[in-house]
Amino acid sequence: MKLAALVSLVPVALLAFACGAKDDEEAKRPAAGSGGSVGTGGSIGVGGSAGGIVIGTGGTDTGGTGGSAASAGTTGEIPMETADTIRGKSCAGWSSEPELLPTVLQLVVDTSYSMTFRTDSTRGRTKWDITQEALYAAVGDMPATAAVGVLYYPGQDTDESMQARDVSECINTNALIPIALLGDQNAPQRERVLASVEDAEPAGLTPTHNAYDYALENGLRASRETGNRFMLLITDGAPTLEWGCIGRSQYEAPTQPIIDEIFAARQEGIRTFIIGSPGSEEAVNGGDARPWLSRAAALGGTARGGCTIDGPNYCHIDLSQDADFAVALNAALARILGQIVSCSFEIPPAPPGQTLNLSQVNVIYTPSSGADAELVGRNDDPGCTDGWQLDGQGLVTLCENTCNIVRADPGGTVELLFGCDTQVDEPVK
């Protein structure tokens, strides 16, 4: 039986979120790739075994390998072999049964004054009421093995200034919750993060660049926790303060420096998810803030499958057009957390006398039921659901459906086999 066929037989474990209408007075307490070049628009493709991203204008840009909305190397001309046949081939060098990597997550959450606004999709509540409630539930449901930290920005009132200032002038840096293992329910770190969600108050301007940089440097980079590392930026639009806390309420800060920093983090193996809340479709000076968020997500390694930088199918998680923001945000967080929680494996170094070739890696899954081992094909679609992908930092990451199957079978094993050419899943016609 093919692994893809097992999906319908295994219940997919989704994170449960506590939702419910509240009056404004009650809303205070929530319910319990590296490589590639950059062009000026166009579609996203994942290229080569290292997952290089190319963003171009009709495929004219080059960098890495791949192309416009293409899955590199996925031709479907050669049928997939079985686990037994590839194990028995003379090319098979060595194998490994790696441990799932834990998740290390830094939250960067926009709490600027505009988060107090209401829109049609917030159903009479503020954007912060809904964000606060969804974050509280999401953190509460994360596994004990996840390491999490959070920074709210600005976290204080902010003054206007067109002169560079210290970061503490526009961000409450003392309120950063350093990354640590969440632990079980009622464990100190989980309680600390949940309390910070409760206590956060929207106010001030929007220093997105300083916030992302401070959280990256003093949160993720400073953490000694090992695992698969992610940033999650939640914002409702364009920044009004640029680097150095420079700006004012009607000032539209440049976004390219933020995009550049997100791309630099990706080169370190840190992927950045971006959620655009209602309001992100309206930039300060009458434009649209979504394209910069879309580009940042693409270069941050989290582009949605089949997306385009300039929309309408943006590469970030765009919630600006959903009819019900609460439902959409809960679903978005569930999808993100479902992707990042323990579905990556680190490729071990080659044993003495052997050579590691990243184009000769295969993944085999053996169910605990005693069923035949499955050869899982590589799938380079950026929005893949079945198969696995190879990260430029040397990580094997299972696609969503495959990940759910493995996580639902604690007694099953995942084996990495080295030496034979990587088997690639036939593309969906």
pLDDT reading at 256 higher than 70: yes
Q: CA 34 to CA 213: how far, in whole Å?
A: 19
Quick one: pLDDT at residue 272? Answer: 97
Answer yes or no: do 314 and 185 share one domain. yes
Segments forming the whole domain that contains residue 411: 3-13+76-99+344-418
Q: pLDDT tens-digit profile of 220-238?
A: 999 999 888 999 999 998 9
Answer yes or no: do 256 and 161 share one domain. yes
Does a structural domain hold residue 57?
no
Domain count, the chain: 2
Q: pLDDT tens-digit profile of 176-214?
A: 999 999 999 999 999 999 999 999 999 999 999 999 999
Whether the Cβ atoms of residue 153 and residue 113 lie closer than 8 Å to each other: no
Does a structural domain hold residue 35?
no
Does a structural domain hold residue 414?
yes
pLDDT reading at 422 higher than 50: yes
Quick one: pLDDT at residue 67? Answer: 31
Answer yes or no: do 146 and 203 share one domain. yes
pLDDT reading at 427 higher than 50: no
Name the domain boundary from 292, 309, 340. 340
Does a structural domain hold residue 47?
no
Cβ neighbours for 120, distance < 8 A, ≥ 6 positions apart: 323
Q: pLDDT tens-digit profile of 363-405?
A: 999 999 999 999 999 998 877 889 999 876 678 988 888 988 8
Answer yes or no: do 190 and 286 share one domain. yes
Answer yes or no: do 154 and 302 share one domain. yes
Residue 420 tokens, joined: 């034979």
**What CATH number did the domain enclosing 295 receive?**
3.40.50.410
Sheet holding 388-390, edge to edge: 344-346, 395-398, 388-390
DSSP state of 100: B
Whether the Cβ atoms of residue 44 and residue 69 lie closer than 8 Å to each other: yes
Does a structural domain hold residue 406?
yes
Answer yes or no: do 133 and 7 share one domain. no
Instruction: State the pLDDT confidence band at 244, using cuts at 50, 70 and 90.
Output: very high
Does a structural domain hold residue 176?
yes
Does a structural domain hold residue 282?
yes
C-alpha 6: how far from its chain's center? 25
> Residue 245's CB: how many other CB atoms inside 10 A?
24
Q: pLDDT tens-digit profile of 341-371?
A: 757 888 888 899 888 899 999 999 999 999 9
Quick one: pLDDT at residue 342? Answer: 59
Answer yes or no: do 281 and 375 share one domain. no
Q: Which of 17, 10, 103, 24 is nearest to 332 (CA)?
A: 17
Answer yes or no: do 279 and 210 share one domain. yes
Name the domain boundary from 340, 355, 387. 340
Name the domain boundary from 281, 306, 340. 340
Task: Compute the mean pLDDT over every residue in the chain, rounded to the nearest whole number.
Answer: 81
Residue 312 tokens, joined: 């309408």
Answer yes or no: do 295 and 325 share one domain. yes
Quick one: pLDDT at residue 337? Answer: 87
Answer yes or no: do 335 and 351 share one domain. no
Whether the Cβ atoms of residue 232 and residue 108 lie closer than 8 Å to each other: yes
Instruction: State the pLDDT confidence band at 54, using cuts at 50, 70 and 90.
Output: very low
Does a structural domain hold residue 211?
yes
Answer yes or no: do 323 and 359 share one domain. no
Whether the Cβ atoms of residue 4 and residue 386 lie closer than 8 Å to each other: yes
Quick one: pLDDT at residue 360? Answer: 93
* β-bridge mates for residue 180, sequence order: 148
Q: pLDDT tens-digit profile of 288-321?
A: 999 999 999 999 999 987 899 999 999 999 999 9
Q: CA 269 to CA 84: how far, in whole Å?
A: 33
Answer yes or no: do 85 and 107 share one domain. no
